[in-house]
Structures are given as structure tokens and as C-alpha cells.
């Protein structure tokens, strides 16, 4: 894997990315919480894009992966703005957003900010509004009292940290309470053995999206990560079969 490129924000903090030009709308992969652009789904999709001569951008939010900054300084709004900064700086023309878990929430927020350039959106166990439904009342009170909570992670040796600032940013950017003004084709993939994001959330999201072209694929034996070979094949098919024009 080649070394990452870097683009400094206005405050000097450098955001890491891999970008390749090619045909069609640029595919932009948005990782999940405490994940990065070297995850299995991102790398596999990028490898397919290379063979298909498709343009693709992978990126690390500030404080994640090899980008500058501290993870605990990140919020949903900051990471959304990181994505918008890289898209606006690097990509000309339309793009397709592919978001995994929290990246699916960010994809929706980016879609709302750049509707005229969005050719398609793919959610993988998309998790909009998880600051609402993903925490108990006691955890929310602990966040307000102590400013952070930690929980064991199933995917990393480091604890799963949530800060008060992130939680408040999430609460300020909730989407599922009203119609979501996204009109492009949308594909939602969700495992029915997902122990992190309940699979019926995908049905709620599909209902709230304004687009008339929304397809939801429920994978009965799929877990939250959807990173098995057959899951990757479904992801690639979902991206490959999206229309390439707005």
C-alpha cells in the first residue's frame, strides 16, 4: 500500500487520504467510529475500483488512522467538515458516498450539504442517530456528569471512548425524526445478526429518505462488520450497479 497523502486544514492539522482518478463519479469511503481507511471493506472496494478504473477517495478523519489530531477531540460535525473539505479540495464533479456504521450517518450529513454533486449513496450497517438509541439513560447521564465514557471494544484493544462533545454533536445532527432530503439512488446493506446497530434501523432509514430509489438488502447471517468475502461481493455489486450520472 502506498503512503498516504496529506492535506492541511485551515488550522494546519493534516488530513490523510488516498485518492485515485478514474472514470465515473468518485467513490468516497467513510469509515466507522474508531475505524480508518485501512479497514477491510475500504481496501477491498479500492482494489475493485482500481481494476475497474473507477475514481476513488479513502480518508481518515482528524484524530483517526494516520491523520493528525487526537481522536477524543473529534465530533460528528468536525468529521463531517473534514469529509467536505477533502471532497471540495480533491474531487471535481459528482461522487458516490459509501459509509460504514457511523460513516453511514456522516454520508447522510455530507449528502445534505452537497446535494447537487451526489450521484449515489451506499450504507453498510448505517448508524444515524446512534447517540440517541445507542446509549442507555445512565450512560447519557454519565456523559453529562463526567464528560466521557469508556466501554470494551469488540474490534480493538483500545477501549471504545465517547466524549460529551461527540455525543452533543450527534444529538444536534439527528436525522431520523423527519424526512431526509436525499434524492439520489440509495442502497442499504445490513446484517440481521448485527449486535451493534439493530437491522430494523435500515428499514426506518429507508422510509425516511425522500429518494424514490432506495433498496434495502438484509443479510440474514450477516454481522455488524459485513466484511466476509460474500459481504464484500455484495458491497461491490451495490456500488458497481449504481447509475453513474446524476
**pLDDT number for residue 133:** 96
Per-residue pLDDT tens digits for 102-155: 999 999 999 999 999 999 999 999 999 999 999 999 999 999 999 999 988 776
Active-site option among 18, 82, 190, 224? 224
> CB count, 10 Å around CB of 169?
18
Length of the chain in terms of residues written: 246
Q: What is the mean pLDDT of residues 202-210?
A: 98
Q: Which residues pair with 188 in a beta bridge?
A: 123, 216
As a whole number of angstroms, the distance between CA 162 and CA 198 comes to: 20
- 101 in active site: yes
**Domains in the chain: boundaries:** 12-240
Q: Which residues pair with 124 in a beta bridge?
A: 100, 189
Selection from 63, 70, 57 nearest residue 29 by Cα: 57
Active-site option among 101, 129, 169, 231? 101
**pLDDT number for residue 110:** 98
Contacts of 214 (CB under 8 A, 6+ apart): 185, 186, 187, 188, 206
**pLDDT number for residue 37:** 98
Kindly indicate the confidence band of residue 2, based on its pLDDT and cuts at 50, 70 and 90. low
Per-residue pLDDT tens digits for 208-226: 999 999 999 999 999 999 9
> Which residue is listed with cell 475514481?
55
CA quadruple 46, 49, 53, 55: dihedral positive or negative? negative
Q: What rounded mean pLDDT belongs to the chain?
A: 96
Per-residue pLDDT tens digits for 25-61: 999 999 999 999 999 999 999 999 999 999 999 999 9
**pLDDT number for residue 155:** 65
Q: Which residues pair with 223 in a beta bridge?
A: none
DSSP secondary structure code for residue 2 in this structure: P
Decide if pLDDT at 11 tops 60. Answer: yes
- Better-scored residue on pLDDT, 151 or 65: 65
Kindly indicate the confidence band of residue 1, based on its pLDDT and cuts at 50, 70 and 90. very low
Decide if pLDDT at 158 tops 80. Answer: no
What are the φ and ψ backbone dihedral angles of 23, each rounded to 5 degrees?
-85, 165
Q: What is the mean pLDDT of residues 191-219?
A: 98
Grid cell digits, residue 160 = 471504545
**pLDDT number for residue 244:** 83
Active-site option among 60, 129, 194, 231? 194
CATH architecture for segment(s) 12-240 = 3-Layer(aba) Sandwich (3.40)
Grid cell digits, residue 231 = 459481504
pTM above 0.85, yes or no: yes
Decide if pLDDT at 227 tops 70. Answer: yes
What are the φ and ψ backbone dihedral angles of 240, each rounded to 5 degrees?
-65, -30
- Decide: helix, strand or coil at residue 222: coil
Burial class (CB in 10 A: 0-12, 13-18, 19+), 130: buried
- Decide: helix, strand or coil at residue 220: coil
Amino acid at each position: 500500500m502506498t503512503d498516504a497523502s496529506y492535506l492541511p486544514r485551515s488550522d494546519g492539522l493534516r488530513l490523510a487520504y488516498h485518492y485515485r482518478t478514474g472514470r465515473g463519479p468518485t467513490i468516497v469511503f467513510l469509515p466507522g467510529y474508531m475505524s480508518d481507511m485501512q479497514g477491510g471493506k475500504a481496501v477491498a472496494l479500492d482494489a475493485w475500483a482500481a481494476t475497474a478504473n473507477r475514481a476513488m477517495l479513502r480518508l481518515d478523519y482528524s484524530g483517526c488512522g494516520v491523520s493528525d489530531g487526537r481522536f477524543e477531540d473529534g465530533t460528528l460535525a468536525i468529521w463531517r467538515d473534514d469529509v467536505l473539505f477533502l471532497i471540495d479540495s480533491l474531487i471535481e464533479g459528482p461522487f458516490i458516498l459509501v459509509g460504514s456504521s457511523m460513516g453511514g450517518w456522516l454520508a447522510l450529513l455530507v449528502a445534505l450539504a452537497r446535494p447537487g454533486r451526489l450521484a449515489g449513496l451506499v450504507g453498510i450497517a448505517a448508524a444515524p442517530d446512534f447517540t440517541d438509541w445507542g446509549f442507555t439513560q445512565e450512560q447519557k447521564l454519565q456523559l453529562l456528569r463526567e464528560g466521557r465514557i469508556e466501554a470494551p471494544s469488540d474490534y480493538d484493544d483500545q477501549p471504545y471512548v465517547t466524549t460529551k462533545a461527540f455525543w452533543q454533536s450527534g444529538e444536534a445532527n439527528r436525522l431520523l425524526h423527519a424526512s431526509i432530503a436525499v434524492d439520489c439512488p440509495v442502497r442499504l446493506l445490513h446484517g440481521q445478526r448485527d449486535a451493534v446497530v439493530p437491522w430494523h434501523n435500515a428499514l426506518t432509514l429507508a422510509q425516511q429518505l425522500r429518494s424514490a430509489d432506495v433498496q434495502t438488502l438484509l443479510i440474514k447471517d450477516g454481522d455488524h462488520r459485513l466484511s466476509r468475502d460474500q459481504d464484500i461481493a455484495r458491497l461491490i455489486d451495490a456500488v458497481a450497479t449504481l447509475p453513474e450520472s446524476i
